[in-house]
Structure 1
Amino acid sequence: MSSSRREMLEYFSHHCFKKLFDAISKKYRSLGRVGGAVKLNGFSPGERDVLSGFLGRDCRENAVISVKLREVEDILRQSRFDIALPEFLSLYFSSEILPNKEVALLEGRKWFAFFAGLQEQALTPVTRGWLAELSGGGGAGYRAVLTMYRQNELEAAEILKTCVEAMDRLVQFQGRRQRLPVFAAGLTGDPHALDGDRPLGRLLFFGLHHMYRLSETEYGAERRKVLFSQAGLEEDDVSSNVIVAGLQVRPGDPREPVFTAAAAAVSPLLLPLRFLERPTMWLPARVYVMENPAVFSAILDSAGDGSDIPALVCTSGQPSVAALKLLDQLAEAGCTMCYGGDFDPRGLEIGRRLAERYGASFKPWFFDTAAYLQAPKGISLAPEQVKKLAGRQVSWDSKLVETMLRVGRAVYQEVLVERMIKDFRYRFPGSHL
């Protein structure tokens, strides 16, 4: 540090100058020039005395002190330091003080240069298009990329580069099924690199949204599994499963005896994804789908041994990869999906996704305005639930959300179980439900 700079910083070491130059720096950044004024208050009598000496005017009786930036620059120019205000601010704060517009321009150039290097390594139109959207300030995963970039630019570049490489491989080898840990190990050497709690795994989730032109959704473990499976990446084929009862298989299918015996014993079956990877000749039927295991069990509890039970599928919350695989097969076989869920934002969201996926094959089951209003009990919607419902609609009942907001309560499937069982007894008189 030069002696003149040391002398200057010593002169302005009084803490009242920190407050003054903080305000002046902010004004200069905002205007982009030496102009305007700042107004300051909260100074002690001693601090006002120091400022009076610096400004060359009496500020001791002023509760609010107004200081023009041009006034300060003139003082600095006429002092023994003979320095312009922008140069002084950079020395005072030990970093270059630039106008906000100039900072934004430099940051913009740096941002585009960041993506230009990545574009050179992208091999397919899919990844080049995604990078172009991200560099333009949009696209799936933009906020995640921006956060990583601000935290560590070099690390962000490496993660994004690897994600692009992963997407290029998936594009070039579409239709190939492979284990996620094996794919991750081949990509990075680390079989856990694409795990859900790793930045690369989360970023690939958003990259796949772009690949399949999907609307960006909130990150979630089950959504991630479904999307990765669509891309051909399976974590394993046994941990993802779905609970069923009463499903019927065409005679001649080698699996038919399993389902016939389970139905006769009113016994549920746990079908892992591995089971569903092989084709099954399902018989067309009305399939009753629910996400609540307690409701599923209560329906089976009411059935007598040896009775004919309706086809039931329990997703146990958000539909797993296995559940969606099964429902896809059933829809393709001509089955109608009768879905019932909880009357809350989460339940409606599951229903909305299934309705969107299965179109005309989807039917609400105790999941409309009439069922909601007939429910004997419910609990008050929490403020965050009301916020999530506001502005939302469901395709199968245009009045449902409006009614829920007006009544102000959430209704859960458990209170409708008895009505469901009565409905089954009416529809399936031989079921002994």
Structure 2
Amino acid sequence: MTDIDRLRRLMGKPGLAWLLTRLRKRLESGRPLTGVVTLPKATPDERRAVELLLGRRAGGGTSVSVSLDDLDVMLRTNGAARSLADAVRAVVGDIPDRAGQEAADRTAWAAAFVPADDLVERRALLRPWRDWLASTGIVRRLKPVPEDATTLVAHAVRVIADLPSPGIALGVLAARHTNDAHALDDGTPLATLVLAAARVLDGKPPTGTGQAADRRAAWAAVGVHRDELSSTVLCLGLPGGTDSHVARVLGLAREAGEPCVLTLRQLGRDPILGVGARRVWICENPIVVATAADELGADCPPLVCLNGQPSTAVIRLLELLAAGGADFTYHGDFDWGGVRIANRLAQHIPWLPWRFDTPAYNDALGRSVGKALSGRQAVAVWDEELSPRMAEAGWQVQEELLLPDLINDLAEVRSACGPRQGGAGDTVGG
């Protein structure tokens, strides 16, 4: 049993403050109270306090030393305390077990990342995302408390496991997995983690530019639209009609030979007049649409622009046109991002390559070359020879470099009776 009053008389003297401080720090760090502690340049009061504690002279010199093992035996023998550790706690009060807490924190942090590790085990493609979490310490910065971090990672994993989606609103996705429709709003911790994973699923590094356009593109790459108004599709030459508001908008735009932007809201509410059993031309970049409007105007055949990863509005429009009997031909950038975009398009509609296969790539290399290829390689599902050839050549060819050829192809097709020609190879996707 510990005699608190006696211990305070023995060890509570001002001259022993240095000794109690050292013993308290040892207990906080989980180290044993053994061995010898020494105070160099001890004052007369400190030397006298040690002598009273030990019951003997402290020796000569300017320093004093205390054997913790002898002190422990002395306290237990005279019945002042069950151990030196108990004696220190009785005199200074509760001492936090920092070593134990640190061990518990390490265990808690490791447990917080278990869902992420399990997800990567199932989907190795997400390994760069998991490595990013580890290398940046982003989770600890967003949620310094392990319990809060555990919830954040668990929510992120549930959302990411649901991606890519065939098309879902951001608020609906958030509410489905967190019961909070705003959990994925810009700047939230959850959005930060999930957007990084979305970029990785799109074959890009987990970090973005911080721009709104980058966030929209990352969401679009995994089939998520922010709302029915922010998801749009750019088109030119769709016939339209008079049966609905949207059909009239398209008809007026075609008559004027001007591009038209439709929202997902419009495509979901009003019927549009499709193109029938005709070819629809699809490009990746808006410059193709702008140039076609400038040079062909009202004579441009039906042309739809993906503007990067196809948004939900793009997919909705193409599915509506396909349901009306249209078929499709597609051209994009000859780079790894362009290959991934084309692969995703093929998951939703079948298409034929429009100057977008190995022969077209070889021809383009002979006339113009863009920048060197970079990023993670992707396999072109429509042409098994294309990706190896691109990797061998090491160059990307952006769509803009082939703009004259693409406009010439469109010019050969009359908007009223476009031929079913669009490129070599079998139909992709569907």
Which of 266, 285, 288 is 2:281 aligned to?
288
| 1:323 is the counterpart of 2:314 | yes
Give the percent of matched residue pairs that are identical in Structure 1 and Structure 2: 26
| 1:247 is the counterpart of 2:238 | yes
**1:428 equivalent in structure 2:** 414
Bigger relative CO (Cα 8 Å, ≥ 6 apart): 2
Report deviation, 1:387: 5.1
* Corresponding pairs, count: 317
The question of whether the paired residues in 2 share the 8 Å contact of 1:369 and 1:397 is answered with yes
TM-score normalised by the chain length of structure 2: 0.56
| 1:222 is the counterpart of 2:220 | no
Q: Distance in 1 between matches of 2:231 and 2:217?
A: 12
**1:201 equivalent in structure 2:** 191
**1:2 equivalent in structure 2:** 19
| 1:133 is the counterpart of 2:126 | no
| 1:353 is the counterpart of 2:344 | yes
Q: What pairs with 1:393-412 in structure 2 (closer than 5 Å)?
A: 393-412=379-398
| 1:371 is the counterpart of 2:360 | yes
Which of 135, 155, 158 is 2:148 aligned to?
158
Any idea what SS the aligned residue of 2:271 has?
A: coil
Q: Distance in 2 between matches of 1:300 and 1:393?
A: 33
Q: Distance in 2 between matches of 1:163 and 1:423?
A: 50
Query: Structure 2 vs 1, CA of residues 415 and 106 (structure 1 numbering), >3 Å: closer, same or farther?
Result: same
Which has the larger Rg?
2
Q: Distance in 2 between matches of 1:136 and 1:424?
A: 47
Any idea what SS the aligned residue of 1:271 has?
A: strand
The question of whether the paired residues in 2 share the 8 Å contact of 1:380 and 1:408 is answered with no
Report deviation, 1:340: 0.8
**2:14 equivalent in structure 1:** none
Cα deviation per residue 1:320-371 (whole Å; 9 max; x = unaligned)?
332233233333444323221111222222122212333xx12221111222
| 1:388 is the counterpart of 2:376 | yes
Query: Structure 2 vs 1, CA of residues 394 and 4 (structure 1 numbering), >3 Å: closer, same or farther?
Result: closer
Q: Distance in 1 between matches of 2:416 and 2:324?
A: 24
Q: What pairs with 1:18-417 in structure 2 (closer than 5 Å)?
A: 109-111=107-109, 133=118, 147-148=137-138, 150-151=140-141, 155=145, 157-158=147-148, 160-161=150-151, 180=171, 193-203=183-193, 221-222=215-216, 224-226=218-220, 235-249=226-240, 252=243, 255-281=246-272, 282-284=274-276, 285-303=278-296, 305=298, 307=299, 309-358=300-349, 361-375=350-364, 377-379=367-369, 381-382=371-372, 385-386=373-374, 388-389=376-377, 392-417=378-403
Cα deviation per residue 1:13-44 (whole Å; 9 max; x = unaligned)?
xxxxxxxxxxxxxxxxxxxxxxxxxxxxxxxx
Any idea what SS the aligned residue of 2:347 has?
A: helix
Any idea what SS the aligned residue of 2:412 has?
A: helix
Any idea what SS the aligned residue of 1:338 has?
A: strand
The question of whether the paired residues in 1 share the 8 Å contact of 2:236 and 2:303 is answered with yes
Output the amino acid matched with 2:395: R
Cα deviation per residue 1:218-276 (whole Å; 9 max; x = unaligned)?
6562355348875xxx6333233221111234774564333233222211111122212
Any idea what SS the aligned residue of 1:357 has?
A: coil
The question of whether the paired residues in 2 share the 8 Å contact of 1:288 and 1:337 is answered with yes
Query: Structure 2 vs 1, CA of residues 353 and 96 (structure 1 numbering), >3 Å: closer, same or farther?
Result: same
Q: Distance in 1 between matches of 2:289 and 2:182?
A: 35
Output the amino acid matched with 1:267: E
The question of whether the paired residues in 1 share the 8 Å contact of 2:143 and 2:149 is answered with no
- Which segments of 5 or more consecutive residues in structure 2 lack a partner in the other structure? 1-17, 24-35, 41-64, 70-95, 207-213, 419-430
Q: Distance in 1 between matches of 2:153 and 2:67?
A: 53
The question of whether the paired residues in 1 share the 8 Å contact of 2:237 and 2:415 is answered with no
Output the amino acid matched with 1:374: D
The question of whether the paired residues in 1 share the 8 Å contact of 2:202 and 2:218 is answered with no
The question of whether the paired residues in 2 share the 8 Å contact of 1:289 and 1:339 is answered with yes
Any idea what SS the aligned residue of 2:407 has?
A: helix
